[in-house]
Amino acid sequence: MKIKKLFFFPIVYVTFFSLKIFSNTIEIRSYKEYTTLKKNNPNIIVQCYANWCPACKKAMPTFDAISEHEMCKNIICARINIDKIPKIKKELSLIGVPTFVFIKNGQQAHLEIGIKNFDAFENHMLSLIKKHL
């Protein structure tokens, strides 16, 4: 029994730790962080999500993979929990989640509400990045 525990904990730790290291997605935790990010970065994609939303949770790993794509090397990929920062929800006039906001030079360039096809989601997002950023 002790041997299983010794092997189990390091595997969990390494898996959890690896996810944190290799994702380029940042979590915005306040309205001030959001406005500072917009002011200081020309190209941003924001995933607006809610903890209660299954589609939001399903999209997160793909959004993280997109943040690591070569096409996104000069783009900030961020995530905002709209239930924790309702001022952003109001500012963006969000009507649903997940919503992906493309911001160019501080201005909203495109708003993508929902995910129509999870299988094509990554390619669809990359085509939107090419078009809007």
Return the pLDDT at 133: 83
The mean per-residue pLDDT over the stretch 91-103 comes to 93
Return the pLDDT at 24: 85
Q: Which residues are catalytic?
A: 53, 56
Q: Is the peptide bond prior to 98 cis by the omega test (within 30 degrees of 0)?
A: yes
Question: What pTM value is reported for the model?
Answer: 0.80
Q: Over the stretch 8-35, which tens digit does the pLDDT of each residue have?
A: 433 333 333 333 334 689 999 999 999 9
State the CATH number of the domain containing residue 49.
3.40.30.10
Query: Is residue 50, in this structure, part of any structural domain at all?
Result: yes
Query: Is residue 62, in this structure, part of any structural domain at all?
Result: yes
Return the pLDDT at 23: 67
16 or 100, higher pLDDT = 100
Return the pLDDT at 5: 39
The mean per-residue pLDDT over the stretch 61-74 comes to 92
The mean per-residue pLDDT over the stretch 37-65 comes to 94
Query: Is residue 19, in this structure, part of any structural domain at all?
Result: no
Query: How many domains is the chain partitioned into structurally?
Result: 1
4 or 86, higher pLDDT = 86
Strand partners, 111: 101
To the nearest whole number, what is the mean pLDDT of the chain?
A: 84
Coil vs helix vs strand at 107: strand
Query: Is residue 14, in this structure, part of any structural domain at all?
Result: no
- For the residues of 79-94, what is the DSSP string, one character each? EEETTT-HHHHHHTT-
Q: Which domain holds residue 51?
A: 25-132
Q: Over the stretch 106-129, which tens digit does the pLDDT of each residue have?
A: 999 999 999 989 899 999 999 999
Dihedral sign (CA 117, 123, 124, 129): positive
